[in-house]
A and B are shown apart, each in its own frame.
Chain A
């Protein structure tokens, strides 16, 4: 297990390098540039802007320049937001995305595991079928449907929460729920499947034969091994949730970094997109590393590998 974690760390840098290179050349291969607009600048001014941001150099030279900056920890200036560095944009937006993402993650895990466990205990009963149908609906409903519905109910009809904006803890709840629902559904299905298998295992039959109460069997003995698939799901899902979602951020008007993936790409803000891709990539690697460590704690077999 430790060797696997160490391997992950060793491959992290080359992985990120490939990620940056791919994104860089793909971005620059797309037609159009950051300063194209409906208004179109005078040619001399466009040339001057291009020179200022070194966009007039060959692409491989720009790539070298970008890597050089990265070595110094410099993600470069945003091409779209005048006078702002990519690092400052990420530093401002990441805590917001992380707050919403962490709340969503917590909701998804607690809710998902609970629903999954209940369904597994009532396997093939009416409750199980109902919950799994609900989970299927949760998985298939996109957030651009769920989010406006949440606003309609909780902000407009009930007037409990703000309809949007970023103003204190009450602004976290609705976006977090909107983000969490599909993930919660995924966790519920994973938990139910895995727990179902575990509950059919011989050692559980032994526990039952010993006369242990069902609650104890599920929560003390069966749940831990059943959570392994949930844990491996957790790594990438956590990274995804923490870096925000463009849909949820736009619908709720919250200042996270999820929007920069899409807007940055649409605006050809090369440095901004590369910055968030790099950030996302690093997070995925970091969370997968944590998952490896968690695996060791949960599964004795992994420790022996």
Chain B
């Protein structure tokens, strides 16, 4: 009897934790393609950025609503000439391993970013730091950069030209600090030391990245979720199934072809928000038929019914675009051309008039090629645009589909392309980044647009200290560019996520940045 009681008590004691202790809250996030690196200065790509924002904390950060907020720096101040930013770090900051974190470590991170030996894809973001260009080109050592740690808590950044968006850029993972130990040799991909709200517990390549809360983080008290898992989800249909099976709390995207079903089934679990990306067709201005033929370029742009593409082809998971720089960008007003408001009949009539003025007719139709890289969405859009050009103008369009890297090379060479699919996704909430791409000297200017007036406006915007002046210049530049039509805007990207109702604190923002420390899990 007593033995029986003992056993019963033992069994109860063993079972108790299962009942009384809730399982620790784990947030599981679908993260798209596997990050190629978690080195904050070397990694590029959206999926790496998502993880790095949890692992490292920048001097500044982004609030759930998308505003720039103090992070490791509690305050910052501009010099009067707008060329010097002084940041004051919080007291008692520590690395995840407990070592003290100082202003010098942030300076070291930026030096490493601009060091040509690092070969970072994001180095250009900070090229405006004093001597940035020379350091990037290898003419000066990284120590020559205008970065100074005045003391353990004060960092001064000197600039060659005004950069009003520098505080915003400092939230980018590329500006993360670097631990002195990680500057020596080549640390293993999963062994770097961070300073974010989470630390890397495990990285099983192509399987999962597990983060645990960093007890040494200055604001760890506010962290609600103990464990975060990022799972690679390359196949969006499979990701959706795993979300339905309850294996994921957040998806990286949704398959656009199932958008209507998803809307019906998941209601407000689907989050669609404007994103910092523009999808457009580039027109190669260095060879026929687009070289020196502005009416033709304008005619092709006007002949496209963007509304049809955004709603019918992309199932309203995108916003139709009549201009290039996305709406919602800070300090900028979208430059929508007047004809965007016209009726369809008016637009088509004007397109036909311009087409004729460009020297084409039913007897002598335009023969043009649309080139795009392999993808169902790109293909469907190309087919629809070809049909519109045919129907409205009578143009004869051929579609050329190329594998990604082949496409990139052809697009860059500007030798074989005519009209081609193009896109720009910005790294920061700043219109200048978009405008620069179409500058005559920019390596990504695949259209070969070279206009002295446009270049001057963009340059003046870059030099402007005053935000209003900067904005005027940028807006004037886009207006001129849209009139010259070296590109044909088609749609603005949207971020698309499914988020389980149990995830609290998720807010859509234009950067599509969501720090795990700002989220909570509601108990079931």
**Complex CA distance for A44 and B137, rounded to whole angstroms:** 6
B8-49: CB near A (< 8 Å → 1, else 0) gives 000000000000000000000000000011010011100000
CB < 8 Å neighbour of A82 from B43, B117, B234, B404: B43
Q: Is A38 an interface residue (CB 8 A)?
A: yes
Pick out which of these stretches binds chain B: A98-106, A134-142, A249-257. Answer: A249-257
Q: Is A7 an interface residue (CB 8 A)?
A: no
CB < 8 Å neighbour of B241 from A39, A156, A159, A166: A156
Q: Are B189 and A84 in contact (CB under 8 A)?
A: yes
B399-457 at interface with A (beta carbon < 8 Å) = 403-406, 408-410, 412, 423, 425, 443-444
Q: Are B36 and A81 in contact (CB under 8 A)?
A: yes
- Measured between beta carbons, the chain B residues less than 8 angstroms from A251 are 235, 237-238
Q: Are B444 and A152 in contact (CB under 8 A)?
A: no
The interface residues of chain A, by DSSP majority, are classed as: loop
**Complex CA distance for A179 and B309, rounded to whole angstroms:** 38
Q: Which of B37, B138, B245 has the most CB of A within 10 A?
A: B245
Q: In whole Å, how far is A250's beta carbon from the nearest beta carbon of chain B?
A: 5
**Complex CA distance for A45 and B137, rounded to whole angstroms:** 8
Q: In whole Å, how far is A42's beta carbon from the nearest beta carbon of chain B?
A: 6
Report if A44-B138 is in contact (Cβ < 8 Å); known contacts: A83-B37, A250-B235, A259-B206. yes
B159-202: CB near A (< 8 Å → 1, else 0) gives 00000000000000000000000000011110000000000000
Total residue contacts A-B, CB cutoff 8 A: 133
Number of interface residues of A (CB under 8 A): 47
Pick out which of these stretches binds chain A: B99-107, B119-127, B285-293, B479-487. Answer: B119-127
Q: Is A293 an interface residue (CB 8 A)?
A: no
Q: Is A30 an interface residue (CB 8 A)?
A: yes
**Complex CA distance for A259 and B231, rounded to whole angstroms:** 16
Q: Is B61 an interface residue (CB 8 A)?
A: no
The bracket for how many chain B residues form the interface is 35 or more
- Measured between beta carbons, the chain B residues less than 8 angstroms from A259 are 206
The interface residues of chain B, by DSSP majority, are classed as: loop
- Measured between beta carbons, the chain A residues less than 8 angstroms from B42 are 82
Q: Are A82 and B231 in contact (CB under 8 A)?
A: no
Q: Are B37 and A31 in contact (CB under 8 A)?
A: no
B229-249: CB near A (< 8 Å → 1, else 0) gives 001111101100110110100
Q: In whole Å, how far is A92's beta carbon from the nearest beta carbon of chain B?
A: 6
**Complex CA distance for A255 and B423, rounded to whole angstroms:** 30
Q: Is B208 an interface residue (CB 8 A)?
A: yes
**Complex CA distance for A255 and B203, rounded to whole angstroms:** 12
Interface residues of B (CB under 8 A from A): 36-37, 39, 42-44, 116-117, 119-121, 123-124, 136-138, 186-189, 204-208, 231-235, 237-238, 241-242, 244-245, 247, 403-406, 408-410, 412, 423, 425, 443-444
The 27 listed contacts between A and B (C-beta, < 8 Å) are A31-B406, A31-B409, A36-B408, A37-B44, A37-B121, A37-B408, A38-B408, A39-B44, A41-B121, A45-B123, A49-B119, A80-B36, A81-B205, A82-B42, A83-B188, A151-B241, A156-B245, A163-B245, A164-B242, A165-B231, A166-B207, A166-B208, A253-B235, A255-B205, A255-B207, A266-B403, A267-B405
Q: A83-B37, A93-B206, A165-B247 are in contact. List 20 more A-B contacts (CB 8 A).
A: A32-B404, A32-B408, A32-B409, A37-B408, A48-B119, A52-B119, A152-B241, A155-B241, A159-B245, A163-B238, A163-B244, A163-B245, A164-B242, A166-B208, A250-B238, A251-B237, A254-B207, A256-B206, A266-B404, A268-B405
